[in-house]
Structures are given as C-alpha cells and as structure tokens.
Amino acid sequence: MSLSCLSSLSSCSRRCIFTSVPEVATDPFNWVKRRNEPSAEGKEERRLKLVAGEPTMTRRWMGLVGLWLATWAVAQPPASAPFSLRCVFLAEDMTPLAQQPASAEIILAPPLQGARMGMQGVTNAAGEFFVLLPEATRPYWVLVGVPGAVFFVDASQPQRLPSSLKCWLGEKPSAICTATGDAHKVALFLRLQGTTWWLRLPPFKDNQLLLFRLPRGQHQLVVASAALPTYWDALQPLQTDTLEVTGETPLRLSFTIPPTGRVTGLVTTGQGQPIVNASVLLERDGVSVATAFTDAQGRFELEGIPEGTYRLMASAPDYESVLLPLQVRPEKEAHLRVSLSPQPLGLLRGRVISKDGSLPQNGRLLIERLLSPTLRQPSGVWVVQPDGRFEGKLREGTYRLTVQVGGRRILKEVRVVAHQVTDVGDLLLPPPAIVEGIVKGQFPLGDLRLRIVALSGNDDPLQPQWVNILGEVPIRSDGHFQVEVPAEPVALLLQLPSSRPLVQRVHARAGQRVWVQFILPRFGGIEGQVVRADTGRPVAGAIVTLLDETGSPIAQTMTSPLGTYRFEPIAPGRYSLRCQGRGLAMSVRHEVWVGDGMKVPVDFVLTTGGSVVGSVRASKTPLNRLYVMVDADNNLVSTVTPDGRFRIDFIPPGRHIVMLFRLGEQVAAKEVVVKSGEETEVVFDLP
C-alpha cells in the first residue's frame, strides 16, 4: 500500500506582502516621497510615478497587493527556521473546503510592533492552507480565513503551537458580521487591541462573515472599498464599528453598504492591442485609495469607490505611465480607455562557456531586476543556445544574471541602458563539485527525492528564492545518490512523507568530492483486521481512512479478502482511524498513538448500520447554517438542506442523541433508538 503524502507548501499558489516599518501604515505616500526626493521639474507627475510607476515596488512599500512568491524580499537573516502552520478548513458537515481562496495576515504579537506579513493562496483538495511563520521562536498573531470565515490564531508561543490547526465552521464564532447591500464592493479591516496594523479580512459570503476565536478585548472594525487591499488611518472609511469580545455569546454587527461608484476601463498599446497585467492606481488628495490589474483583454474594474475627484495612473512594464483626472459619482460607472506608449529598451547579449572552452548544454539564464538593495523582481528566463549565446531586450535598469547548467552556475550583475547594446562577453562556468552520499533507514528509499538549493547569503533552504532551486534527483533503491553542485554553499533537502525534510549543508570547492549521509527517523505503522459482529467473518473491501490530529484524511486503503489492512510507513504522532464497510455501520477509533518504530494493532468489529432521516420545521427561524450531529461525533454529521431535510447513514445500532446546531450553538436535541437496517425519523420544530 502506498501512503498518500501531505501536499507540500509549493502545492498552493501563494503571494506575500512584507512590510517592516509601522510608519508606512499611517502615511505610505509621504514615506515614499521622502525617500525618493522628486525633483522640482515634473514634480507632480514624478510624485505619482513613485506611487504607481513601479508596480512591484508599489506593492512592497504600500502593501497594496501581495508580491508573488517569485518576487523576494531579501531581508535580514532569520534568527531561526520558519514554522509551517497547516490550517485545515472544514464546512459544518466536516467536508473539506477545497479550492477556496484563502488568506492570512501575520503580525508580531503585542507588545512587539513593526512587522506584518500577508499570504494568499487556494486551499487544496483536503481543505489545507499552509501559513509560514517567518521564525519559529518569535511571537505572532495570525488571522487566517476563507470567504465568509476568519480564525484568529495566538502564536505568541510558537513552541506550544500544534503543526496542524482545525478551522471548523461548525464551532461557535466570536462575532457575526452581516452586510446589507452589495457586499462584494466592500472589505472589512480589523485592528486588534494593542496593535497598530489594520488587517484585511476575507470577503463576505452570502453577505455574512464569521469571526472565530478572537481574543478578549475591544477591537476596531472599518468598512472600506474592496479595491483597497490595505487600510490606514489617513483614509476615509465607509463605516466604522467597535467589536468588544467577552468570550460569551457571539456578537452581531450589521453594516449597511452606502452607495458607491464604479470605475472600469481598458488599457491598450498605441495600436489598440490589450496590455495584460497593467497596474491601475486611483489616487485622491495625495493618497492611493484603490488599485487593480488588467486581465487578458486589458480590462480593469474598481468597485466600491466613494464619490469624489480622483486621479488615475496606468502603468505597465516596458511602457510609459499615463495620468488622467477622474470624477466618481454614486451608482454611476466611469469608463476610461487608456493608451500606453512603449518604454525604450536596451539589448543584452553574451556567451556562456566552460573554463575548458567547451559549450554547455541545456543551460538557462535567470534574470532579476534589482529594484533596491533588498528587493529583486524576476524579469524572465532565457534559454542558452547550443552555441552558448544569449540575447534579448530589457528595460533600463540594473540586473542580476544567474546562469545555471546542471550543477554549475555563475552570477553577474549588469547595467542595461536604453537604446544601447550591453555585451557581457564570455561568462565562464567553473567546474562543479560532486556530492555523493547514502540514505539509511527502513523507508522504501526508491520513493525519496533530494532537492538541491543554493544558499545565497543567508537564504533559508525551506523557503528558497526561485533562482536558488538547482533541481531534484531521485534516491536509488540502495539509498545511494550522486549530484553535481556549484562551488558555493548549498543545502540538500531530503523530502519525507508527512514530515519536515532533512537538511544537510555543504560548501565544497570546485572539483572536490564530498560524502553526505542521511539517517531517517524510525517510522511506525498501523495494521489490523475488520470483521462482522454477527458472523465474525472478515469484511473484504472495507474502506479504512487514516486521519491526522485535526480530523483530516491523510491516507486511505481497502481491506484484503482476509479483512486486513495496513498503513506503513507513518511518522510518529497521534492519529484517528475510520472504517466503513458496505451496508455496515461506521466505526471510529480516536487517540491512536504511533511511536518511533512502533507497529500499532487496531481491529474493527462492524455491525449492520441504521439511518436517521428527518426534517426541521420553522415558522420564523431561517433554515440557513443548520447542521445535525449524532452524539457530537464529527463523523456522523449532515447539513440541513434549504427545504429543511437531513439524513445520516451508517449509524451503529443503539441509543443515540441527535443534536441540531447553528453556528456552533446547540438549538435542539432528541434521543432516538437506531436499529440495524432501519430508518429512524426525527423532526425538529423551531419557532
């Protein structure tokens, strides 16, 4: 049986916002203006270009939109390795919230201030979203959520934080925010007591947003335009409110969406061709209030814009920026067509050869534009031709070139000038070092892979920059491996199932051979047999599911003709098992502990199951967000349909409590007797 592995961090498309100066949150425009010192000539146009002319730079210092993970902030080296928090989002009926937009806002826990990071992505098929805390030893507060729900995580003591966090929409929320009007036009921003940051919450779903596990205290909420990815005190909110959490009953807040305007438009070239991913920024009184990016047809849209006079700046890589005045009126649409002129480009060319004069094969050139001493923007990947040459056009600026050919690479910084040819000449590839090694352990070694990451400066191998991932090689069945690496510090990461990778750091000289050894942890296993209670015969074809400590499935297998099953290898930890045979009641075993090298026996005796079917009747109470559970067991749960019906199958015979919940609070309960092969009807009458 092949154990299904947890999805890695890279399985989620993710973007990040890094901000490290609290002053930016209070007045980002003036902060940038002071740093860049625009000249008197063309001062007004230059002032806006500082805000919008460099899209990636804008995204950094204003926090308007997240930088894709490909754009890296090269900051001070972390004091410790990052900590990955696995958040599992589950609906009321415990089904995973798969393929849902997810986001996280991370700040230092009070009384510390001065750092904020945001992440965005999509939950995978198991409802998982991974939040990366930059340092495992620093205290953080985290808000993580999906549309319609957000959870507060107190990570002020990371060493006590579980690696997996269950985010179940069936628990009792701290607050329920309801919007009247068109909720997709606005966004909610929350400032927790004792902090300085306004944190953007996930969007409303069905005009409702649930806030879970908020800390006690008096927090602030503002409603602003959805086109505003971040909020600061200089902006004018659409609505404000105070959220005082006492930890008792959920707070209910209502927001009425005021009339707002809409800005749409099209960004094209002078020949009418659409420009994709152009940046559109709306500015009012020297402050940027909204931003958007054009789609594949060059179109953009800004919703929820308050009435007033604005200036719109459109810009795109390789094009000159354009500034236009704009008037926005309530319930009206302002449409603009913007034409951008090409920006002058320079030509970059050169040749890659080995030091012995031979031409490299299958080489590539990774190009990054240096926006500042600490920020680099990916600008493309060029293929090195068979004759070793490369050539292409780039906008004016300073670039870092990384040539990679197998395990060899070379770095070079160049300046490209518009309308000129920059010839870097011959780039000489040094000979590589050779790393040989062996992996020792009981795991099937042929299933493992080794990743090679170059350590640029103090780069973290668990979160490498895109240009530093040199490749992966498989481990042979006998555990041996051999790989070429550049003559610089590198990290070798051995990927393991359901566990953090093992890391070895190597710094070898050119032509040197280095020996490395990995010792695998002692994996355990779970095995057992499934039989029928009435005949004692084995149950073939039963589905056995392995669940982690959050209740999320991580592996599944089917019993053999003898009713046996096995999960192996399994990393040490606490698990649950769920067994379901055809026509038989479900059986669950909790708190199954697997230690180092342990083989844990877990058998199941299945009975013929029964069903509970029923309805919820109400004259005034709405039937939304209702769900039913049997004996408060998350494995026996069903949501209530809009017409008030529900059904739960495969319930073991006997006496049970059927409970009706809304938003984590029990609203009704009835005791029933379930018989094998029969349906038991339950009716709940609500006011």
What is the Cα 40 distance to its own chain's centre?
A: 43
8 Å CB contact between 518 and 494:
yes
Nearest-angstrom CA–CA distance, 619 and 686: 7
User: Does domain 345-429 correspond to CATH entry 2.60.40.10?
Assistant: yes
Token pair belonging to 87: 């958040």
Partnered with residue 655 across adjacent β-strands are 673
Task: Provide the pLDDT for residue 498.
Answer: 52
CATH topology of domain 524-606: Immunoglobulin-like (2.60.40)
Give tens-digit pLDDT for 59-93: 333 333 333 333 333 333 334 556 788 899 999 88
Q: Which residues contact residue 122 at a Cβ distance below 8 angstroms, ignoring those fewer than 6 apart?
A: 12, 13, 99, 100, 101, 102, 129
Task: Output the CA–CA distances (angstroms, integers) from residue 17 to 119, 150, 159, 179, 509, in the order listed.
Answer: 7, 18, 24, 27, 37
Closest by alpha carbon to 499, among 596, 402, 633, 638?
596
Position 289 confidence tier, pLDDT thresholds 50, 70, 90: confident
The DSSP secondary-structure symbol of 407 reads T
Give tens-digit pLDDT for 548-574: 877 777 788 999 999 999 998 887 888
The enclosing H or E element of 411 equals strand 408-416
The order of strands in the sheet holding 553-558 is: 553-558, 543-547, 573-580, 587-594
Give tens-digit pLDDT for 178-235: 998 888 888 999 999 888 889 999 999 999 999 999 998 899 999 988 887 788 776 7
Residue 472 pLDDT exceeds 60: yes
**pTM flag (> 0.85):** no
Nearest-angstrom CA–CA distance, 632 and 635: 9
The order of strands in the sheet holding 322-328 is: 287-293, 279-284, 308-315, 322-328
Task: Provide the pLDDT for residue 132.
Answer: 83
Residue-wise burial string across 537-564, b where 16 or more C-beta atoms lie within 10 A, e elsewhere: ebbeebbbbbbbbbbbebbbbebbeebe
433-519, which class in CATH? mainly beta
Environment class of 19 (CB within 10 Å of its CB; exposed 0-12, middle 13-18, buried 19+): buried
Write out the DSSP string of 196-258. ---EEPPPPBTTEEEEESPPSEEEEEEEEETT-SS--TTS--SEEEEEEE-SSSPEEEEEEPP
Which CATH number is 610-686 given?
2.60.40.1120
Give tens-digit pLDDT for 433-452: 999 999 988 776 767 889 89
Domain boundaries, the chain: 11-20+75-256, 345-429, 433-519, 524-606, 610-686
